[in-house]
Chains A and B, each alone.
Chain A
Amino acid sequence: MSALRGGINGIDSLERLAMGDSPIHRLHPAVKLATTIAYVLVVLSFPSQNVSGLMSFIFYPAIVMPLADVSYRLLLARLAAALPFSIFGGVGNLILLRDTAFVAGPFSVTVGMLSFVSIMQKTLLSVLAVLILVATTPFADITRQLTRLGMPNIICLQFVMTYRYLSALISEAYSMFTAYKLRSPNTRMIKMKDMGSFLGQLVLRSFDRGENIYQAMKCRGFLGIYHGQATAAPIFLDVAYSIIFLSVLFTLRFFNLSLFLGGLVK
C-alpha cells in the first residue's frame, strides 16, 4: 500500500518546502496566487500546435525553482498524476492529425505531433506552476488569501480540516490495512467483498475522530469561526515582482521569443 505511505510523505515534504526561506518564499502570498493563476491562464490560452510559443514559458519554472530551492525530482514525480489524462486526450491528436506540418530533413513532422507536444508542454507548465505555489507558500497563507477573496468561512474551515486530518486518517487507514494483511496473508490488495466492512470501519472511526476533535475544539472556545493570523500588506518588492512578472508574461504571449531567436540564426 505504497500509495498511503506516499501520500503522507508527499504532504510532509511539500510542507517542509513551504516553510523554507528564499526570495520567492518571502513574496506576498496574494502575489504568488495571482501570478500563478495568470500564468496558467496565459499558458492555456495558446492555440494547439504553438510549440515554439509555449517554449518561452519554461523560463518561469527554470528560474524560480532553483531560486526557491525546490527540487525538480519532487515536482516531476507529481507530474505523473496529471499525465494520464493529458496523454489520453492527446494521443487522439497524434493519430487523427496526420497531415504533414513541415519536413525537417529526413523527418516529416505532422500536425498531430505538434499538437501532442503542445498538450504535454501545457501539462508540464501548468502543473509546475501550481506545485511551485504550494512549495513556496505555507498552507495557512493560501487559505487566508482565499478567504480574503471571498471564500466562505465554512469552506475555509473544511479545507483546513481536511488537510489537517489527512495524515491522521491516512495513518489510520494504513494501520487497518496492515492488520488486514496480517490476517490474510498472500493478498496484495483488499478483496472486494471485504471492502464494505473495511471502509465502513474507517467511516465509523472517522466519525468518532470527528466527535473527539469537536469536543477538543469546543474546550478551546471554538464558535464555528476560523480565525487566521493577519497577513502583512504587500511591500514595494511584491508590487515590483507582480508588474515585472505580468509584463513579461503578456509580452511572451504575443511575442514568440523562440521564433525570433531562431530567425536570428542564419
Chain B
Amino acid sequence: MHMADALLSPAVGGAMTVVSVATVAYAVKKISKDSLDEKKIPMMGVMGAFVFAAQMINFTIPGTGSSGHIGGGILLAALLGPFPALIVLASVLLVQCLFFADGGLLAYGCNVFNMGICACLLSYKFVYQPIVKKGLTRRNILVASLASSAIGLQIGAFGVVVETFLSGVAELPFESFLILMQPIHLAIGIVEGIVTASVLNFIQSARPDLLSSVAFETKLASSLSMKKVIAPLLIFTALTGGGLSIFASAYPDGLEWSIEGVTGGAEIERDGAIYKTMGGVVERTAFMPDYAFKDSEGAPLETSAAGIVGSVITLAIAGGAGLAVKRLKK
C-alpha cells in the first residue's frame, strides 16, 4: 500500500505531510507528557526493526497459492500503545522511503496517514481497544484483531484512492479505483487480522504481562483526545482545498483535463500547457516536412515533432555528459 511520488501532486503531498507531521508531533507531545519511561525508547527502536524484519517474511495463504506479510500497525499498537506505535511506524516508513525506495519522499505524509494514523490511532482506538477491554481472551483478541486490521486497511485504502484522485495524475475513475482497491484490501485485512491475532495470542500465552499492560493502561488511552486527532484532518481538508485551487489555477489544463477524464466528459484538448508554453519558441520551425507529424485531423503539430526530437537530443546530451564525467574522473 506504499504510495509512490509519481501519482501525487505537490499540493496533495504537501497537505498530507502537514497532517501527518502535526499528528506525529501531537503523539510525541502526548508520550513526553505522559512521561514515557526512557526504557521504552530502545524498545520502540527495536520494535521498529522488528516490523521491518516481519514485513520481509512471507507466509503462504492457504487455498490461494499466494503469499503475504503483515503490515504491523495493530500489532505495534497492541504491544506499545497507539502513540508510541505511530512513532515507530513513522520511522519505519522513513527508513523504507529513504533506503528501499518503498514509498516516495513527497508521499511520506500520505503513507504515514494511510498506514500509521488509520491503523494505530483510528482503528486501534475505536475498534481494537473497546473489544479487548472486555477481557483479554483468545476470542476477544481474535475478533478485535480481525475487525481492527480489516477496518484500518479499508480506511487506509480509501485514503490512497482519495489522495490519488485529488492529485489528478492517474486517470482511473474514482469509482473504478475504489472498486479495485477496497475488496483487495478487505481480503488482505482479514489475512492480516488472523495473523495478528495468532501472534498476539501467542504472546498472551507466553508473556501475559505485555498485552494487559497496554490494553488496560488507561493513562495513555483515556487521555487520547479525539478532537486533537480529528483537528489535523480538518486542517488537511482546508489545506488540500486551498492547495488544489492554487494548483488548478497554475495548471488549468492538467486539472480540468483529469476531471473530465474521470467524469467521462469532454474530449481532451490538444492545446495543453506543453503546447502553450513553448508554442512561441517553435512557432515557425518545421521538422522533416515530407515525413509529416500530424495530429488526427491532419493539422501539423510541430510541437510534437520538436518534443520527440528534442527529448531524444536531451537524453543523448545527458547521457553524453554522464559518460564525460565518468571519463574525466578516471
A residues adjacent to B (C-beta < 8 A)? 1, 3-4, 7, 10-11, 14, 36-37, 40-41, 44-45, 47-53, 55-56, 58-59, 62-63, 65-67, 69, 78-79, 81-83, 85-86, 89-90, 92-93, 96-97, 99-105, 108-109, 111-112, 115, 119-120, 122-123, 126-127, 129-131, 133-134, 142, 152, 154-155, 157-166, 168-170, 172-173, 177, 188-204, 206-207, 209-211, 213-214, 217, 222-224, 254, 256-266
A195 vs B309: C-alpha distance in the bound complex, in angstroms? 55
B272 within 8 A of A: yes
Report Cα–Cα, A115/B173, bound state, in Å.
15
Interface members, chain B 188-214 (any A CB < 8 Å): 191, 194-195, 197-203, 206-207, 210
Q: Are B101 and A262 in contact (CB under 8 A)?
A: no
CB contacts under 8 Å to A, within B276-330, are 277-278, 281-282, 285-287, 291, 293-296, 301-311, 313-315, 317-319, 321-323, 325-326, 329
Q: Knowing A55-B311, A198-B57, say if A104 contacts B293 (CB, 8 Å).
A: yes
Contact at A165–B88, with CB atoms within 8 Å?
no
Are A206 and B281 also in contact (CB < 8 A) when A120-B6, A217-B42, A261-B310 are? no
A52 and B274 contact, Cβ closer than 8 Å, known pairs A152-B25, A265-B313:
yes
Report Cα–Cα, A10/B277, bound state, in Å. 42
Tell me the number of A-to-B contacts counted with CB atoms below 8 Å.
412
Set B105, B171, B191, B278: member contacting A259, Cβ < 8 A: B278
| Residues from 17 to 42 in B contacting A, C-beta threshold 8 Å | 24-25, 28, 31-32, 36, 38-39, 41-42
A171 CB to nearest B CB, Å: 9
A interface secondary structure, majority: helix
Whether the Cβ atoms of A191 and B60 lie closer than 8 Å is yes
B8 contacts across to A, CB distance below 8 A: 44
Interface string of B164-184 (1 = CB under 8 A from A): 100011111100110000000
Q: Which residue in A99, A119, A159, A197 is a CB contact (below 8 Å) of B95?
A: A159
Q: Mark B86-122, 1 if CB is under 8 A from A, else 0.
A: 0110111011011111101110000000000000000
B15 within 8 A of A: no
Cβ of B45 and Cβ of A86 under 8 Å apart?
Answer: no
Question: Are B54's CB and A81's CB within 8 A?
Answer: no
Q: Which A residues are CB-close (under 8 A) to B305? A: 104, 262
Known: A52-B274, A196-B201. A134 touches B308 (CB 8 A): no
Whether A222 lies near B38 (C-beta < 8 A) is yes
A161 touches B314 (CB 8 A): no
Is A263 a contact partner of B170 (Cβ separation < 8 A)? no
Contact across chains for B309 and A1 when beta carbons are under 8 A apart: no
Nearest first, the 7 closest Cβ-Cβ pairs linking A and B are: A161-B45, A196-B198, A262-B310, A200-B202, A262-B306, A162-B48, A47-B254
Of A63, A161, A190, A194, which one neighbours B48 at CB under 8 angstroms? A161
Q: Is the CB of A82 within 8 A of B104?
A: yes
1/0 contact trace for B195-239 toward A, CB 8 Å?
A: 101111111001100100000000000000000000000000000
Q: Is the interface of B mostly helix, strand, loop or mixed?
A: helix
Q: B314 to chain A: which residues have CB within 8 Å?
A: 52, 55-56, 58-59, 257-258, 261
The answer to whether A99 touches B49 (Cβ under 8 A) is no
Given known pairs A52-B274, A261-B313, the reply for A162 and B7 (CB within 8 Å) is: no
Q: Does B10 contact A (CB under 8 A)?
A: yes
- Whether B273 and A173, one on each chain, are in contact in the complex, defined by CB atoms closer than 8 angstroms, is no
* Closest Cβ–Cβ distance, residue B177 to chain A (whole Å): 8
Please name all residues of chain A whose beta carbon is closer than 8 Å to the beta carbon of B13 when the two chains form the complex.
44
Interface assignment of B126: CB less than 8 Å from any CB of chain A: no
- Asked if B285 contacts A203 (CB within 8 A), the reply is no
Query: Whole-angstrom distance between the alpha carbons of A36 and B223 in the complex?
Result: 39
Contact between chains at B7 and A119 (CB < 8 Å): yes
Interface residues on B, range: 35 or more
Contact B106 A40 (CB under 8 A): yes
B310-A263 in contact (CB<8A): yes
Tell me the bound Cα distance from A207 to B50 in angstroms: 9
In the complex, the answer to whether B4 meets A262 with C-beta atoms within 8 Å is: no
Q: How far is the CA of A95 from the CA of B261 in the complex (A)?
A: 11
Most B CB contacts (10 A, CB to CB) among A36, A99, A191 go to A99
A129 to B54, CA, bound (A): 28
Find out whether the CB atom of A93 lies under 8 angstroms from the CB atom of B170. Answer: yes
> How far apart are the CA atoms of A41 and B247 in the complex, in Å?
13
Chain B residue with the shortest CB-CB distance to A77? B101
Which residues of chain A are within 8 angstroms of B36 by Cβ–Cβ distance?
A: 154
Closest residue of chain B to A93, judged by CB? B171
A97 to B87, CA, bound (A): 41
B57 touches A173 (CB 8 A): yes
Instruction: Please report the C-alpha to C-alpha distance between residue A100 and residue B301 in the assembled complex, in whole angstroms.
Output: 12
Asked whether A40 lies within 8 Å of B5 as measured between CB atoms, the reply is: yes
Residues B40-75 near A (CB distance < 8 A): 41-50, 52-54, 56-62, 67, 70, 75
Given contacts A102-B295, A196-B195, 18 further A-B contacts (CB under 8 A): A44-B10, A55-B315, A56-B318, A86-B4, A89-B172, A92-B171, A93-B171, A101-B295, A102-B304, A104-B293, A127-B5, A168-B49, A188-B60, A195-B59, A210-B45, A256-B310, A259-B282, A262-B282
Contact between A157 and B101 (Cβ–Cβ < 8 Å)?
Answer: no
